Amino acid sequence: MYPEATVPEKYGLVKRNQQKGRTSRLTNRERDDGQFGGERSKVAALRPKAAAPRYFFRMVEFAPTIMASRKNDFRPQDAAKTLLWCRRICCLCGKKCGAAIEIAHIDRNGPGALDNAIPVCFECHSVIGHYADDHPRGKKFGIEELKKRRNQVYDEQTSSLVPPIDYRISQQNPARTLPGVGFRIHHLGGAHPVRAFVRVTISRGSKRYGPPPTAGHYDGRYGWNLNPGQHISGWFKLRKRWKPLKGEPLRAKVEITVADIYDYRHDLLPVGYILNLGAQDWYAEPCEEEM
Ligand SMILES: [Zn+2]
């Protein structure tokens, strides 16, 4: 409200006023006592009648307390995401909350991160935070349970934003010659564009080689933008030593994470492939690893 330059001047005014043993504001007459000259007095008389200097002191006194209590607050953009993902439905009791919703920390001492956030109604928030471990009654919500229940609500509320997606690695479509390997991903319809993060893991026997050496397109770092109905063809190259041995075929596991228009990530089930050198192509196989 006041220009910054006036603060020291006002500090002086209050200090002098307190020396006189009074707590009231200075009167216009006192301001006009010649200390600041006529022009400044006119400006002072135009100021709103608020106890600005005392307010200033309070701010200094309480600022560290305010900062300390917010050290693991959620960033506004993250808070907005959680509310979009759950559509303001309580992630514990499923109630439509509207404005009566809060974003709770799953682990009260944990970070202000998306993974530690759960939107809940007022009643459920009190249930999460006030469980007495030393005097247990009932069964409290565990951290893993809270995260899974939250993700369940996020998934239910955003699943309509994820189109069917077809993806595969192949030597035929697009046509590539080994050690080049073709990859194709197809947005099969729906109203919404998405971004797909692709992770390919190459392995042979017990050796796990990891993603092919490309600039982020096949190790999950870059998102492939897919508009409705669009397909994209790409390719990657196998390293020279990545060759099948007798009894140890070369395998590729393809994992896709789809980010919807509100940036919620949906994991599709992984698809496994085995390289058939005779046919010079890949065929699908069940992924042995745990989902
Ligand atoms: Zn609730």
Cα–Cα distance between 185 and 208 in angstroms, integer?
Answer: 24
Mean pLDDT score across all residues of the chain: 80
pLDDT in the model for residue 9: 41
Read off the pLDDT of residues 6-37 as tens digits, 9 standing for 90 and up. 334 444 333 444 444 444 444 444 444 444 44
Catalogue the E-assigned strands of the chain: 101-105, 117-121, 165-170, 180-187, 194-204, 207-210, 219-226, 231-237, 250-259, 265-267, 271-276, 281-285
Model confidence, pTM: 0.69
78: three-class secondary structure by DSSP: helix
Distance in Å, CA 98 to ligand 1 centroid: 12
Distance in Å, CA 136 to ligand 1 centroid: 21
pLDDT in the model for residue 265: 96
Distance in Å, CA 87 to ligand 1 centroid: 13
Contact yes or no for 211/221 (Cβ under 8 A): no
Which domains does the chain carry? 1-62 (no CATH), 76-160 (no CATH), 165-290 (2.60.40)
Distance in Å, CA 104 to ligand 1 centroid: 11
Distance in Å, CA 96 to ligand 1 centroid: 9
pLDDT in the model for residue 195: 97
Residues above pLDDT 90, as percent of the chain = 57
Distance in Å, CA 246 to ligand 1 centroid: 58
Contact yes or no for 258/195 (Cβ under 8 A): yes
215: three-class secondary structure by DSSP: coil
User: What is the mean predicted confidence (pLDDT) over 91-104?
Assistant: 95
- Paired residues of 210 in beta bridges: 202
pLDDT for 254 beyond 60: yes
Distance in Å, CA 239 to ligand 1 centroid: 52
Contact yes or no for 88/98 (Cβ under 8 A): yes
pLDDT for 245 beyond 80: yes
pLDDT for 113 beyond 80: yes
Read off the pLDDT of residues 208-243 as tens digits, 9 standing for 90 and up. 999 999 878 999 999 999 999 999 999 999 999 998
C-alpha to C-alpha distances, 83 to 95, 125, 222, nearest whole angstrom: 13, 15, 26
Distance in Å, CA 102 to ligand 1 centroid: 10
Read off the pLDDT of residues 132-189 as tens digits, 9 standing for 90 and up. 566 566 667 888 999 999 999 999 999 999 999 999 999 998 899 999 999 999 999 8
Q: What are phi and psi of 160, to 5 degrees?
A: -70, -10
Distance in Å, CA 94 to ligand 1 centroid: 6
Distance in Å, CA 101 to ligand 1 centroid: 9
Cα–Cα distance between 193 and 163 in angstroms, integer?
Answer: 8
